[in-house]
Amino acid sequence: MKRLLSLIALCCALHLSAQEALWWKTPTTSPEINENRTVTFRLKAPYAKKVEVTGDFLPEGNAEMRKVQPDLWEYTTPFPLRADLYSYAFIMDGVRITDPSNVYVTRDVVTMNNIFIVDGPRSKVYQELDVPHGTVSKIWYPCDQLQRMRRLTVYTPAGYSENGTTRYPVLYLLHGMGGDEEAWITLGRVAQIMDNLIAMGKAKPMIVVMPNGNMDQVAAPGYGPDGNIVPTIELPRTCDGTYEQSFPNLVRYIDRTYRTIPRKNSRAIAGLSMGGFHTMMISKEYPDLFDYVGLFSASVKKNVDGVYSPVYERFHDKLRTQFAKRPALYWIAIGKEDFLYPANVEFCELLDRNRHRHEFLETEGGHIWKNWRFYLKEFAQKIFK
């Protein structure tokens, strides 16, 4: 052991450019979750003139950090944080950076954030607990619409490999604009939420399928043959009807490849923001596919300006057909501060006027992952029951 340690010491001491840095522990502790549930952030930055922390727990968005030592900046939240999973980053002299002391980093479109969890009953479901864990797979499937292979993420529940004959219901879970097949599994904590709900008996064991809704992308950045190209401001062919039309084939592929229960009453679809738009469109376009429908902070438009697709035609007729077939659940959730809130209230009124049975959940907060994780947790407990 000593010899191993001395090798590390040697390696670090020499700082040879030919050796890669080996660090087991970052020199600063950040974030630190204090006993009273306030949280302290620290950054070692001797020459910085201004350091801020930005995060989804700050009412104003940003807060200035204070120089507490010649080389150390610090900020402690003036209030205890409610148990939840939070994300944050630092802004050092105008440059947005992740916290070098925290290895938990997630990508949100092209922005990197750190995450941390404040422990408590409300955040238990987001944590890795000592419960049976499902398997997360990145698979490539043949997309008939694009005539090529595309990547998607699949969660299979604990016991799937062992119980060789049991068949499972399937939840199709769609990301928002700028997201991809990585979004729900990283930012959305799907594996942790499903593992925990299933272990507690609050959700049925189910398969969760997370496809990529950008038809110009075969996979998330870095996993498609697009070399070093980063996503562009152009919408990557998300709302021209093609994605919606590709769904029956995707469902067939999943039913062929996994031990699913290949019936409407064992299929759910849900999506956030743009994925809510897709969910609304797909579920009405193919009214015999999904019995459970979840719109999370959805963009509830009836068509897309300037785009022609048969998918966006005869919206009201198709909605009427869908509801005539009495879906087991049509669930709409949105935060009161979400910029899509008025449109969702209006959509609910439309459903009410037409006596289309649905459930509506109004929460605090805006168009943020904190809400989408919570909506998934709620929705997952309502389906396949």
Q: How many Å separate Cα 353 from the centre of its chain?
A: 32
The distance of closest approach from Cβ of residue 227 to its own copies in the complex, given in angstroms and rounded to an integer, is: 7
Pick the binder of its own copies from 75, 88, 116, 290 (CB under 8 A).
116
Based on CB atoms, which residue is closest to its own copies, 13 or 201? Answer: 13
Binding to its own copies, residues 205-244 (CB under 8 A): 219, 221-225, 227-228, 230-235, 239
* 68 touches its own copies (CB under 8 A): no
Q: Which token pair is 292?
A: 């459970």
Strand segments, DSSP code E, in the chain are 32-33, 39-44, 51-55, 62-64, 66-69, 72-76, 84-92, 95-97, 105-108, 111-118, 135-143, 148-156, 170-174, 207-210, 267-272, 292-296, 329-335, 359-363
* 95 touches its own copies (CB under 8 A): yes
The distance of closest approach from Cβ of residue 327 to its own copies in the complex, given in angstroms and rounded to an integer, is: 26
Based on CB atoms, which residue is closest to its own copies, 8 or 324? Answer: 8
Distance CA 273, CA 334 (A): 10
Sheet holding 32-33, edge to edge: 32-33, 39-44, 72-76, 66-69
* 122 touches its own copies (CB under 8 A): no
Give 262's contacts (C-beta < 8 A, 6+ positions apart).
255
Binding to its own copies, residues 246-305 (CB under 8 A): 257, 274, 299, 301, 304-305
Based on CB atoms, which residue is closest to its own copies, 232 or 355? Answer: 232
Query: In 10 A of CB 73, how many CB atoms?
Result: 25
The distance of closest approach from Cβ of residue 348 to its own copies in the complex, given in angstroms and rounded to an integer, is: 19
The distance of closest approach from Cβ of residue 206 to its own copies in the complex, given in angstroms and rounded to an integer, is: 17
* Helices 369-380, 190-199: crossing angle, 10 deg rounding: 30
Based on CB atoms, which residue is closest to its own copies, 312 or 330? Answer: 312
Distance CA 166, CA 163 (A): 6
* 21 touches its own copies (CB under 8 A): yes
Amino acid at 208: V
Pick the binder of its own copies from 34, 50, 263, 324 (CB under 8 A).
50
Under DSSP, the state recorded for 2 is: H
Q: Which among 2-10, 203-211, 314-322, 375-383 is the span making contact with its own copies, rule CB under 8 A?
A: 2-10
Q: Which among 114-122, 261-269, 319-327, 346-354 is the span making contact with its own copies, rule CB under 8 A?
A: 114-122
* 72 touches its own copies (CB under 8 A): no
Binding to its own copies, residues 295-354 (CB under 8 A): 299, 301, 304-307, 335, 337-340
Distance CA 188, CA 171 (A): 14
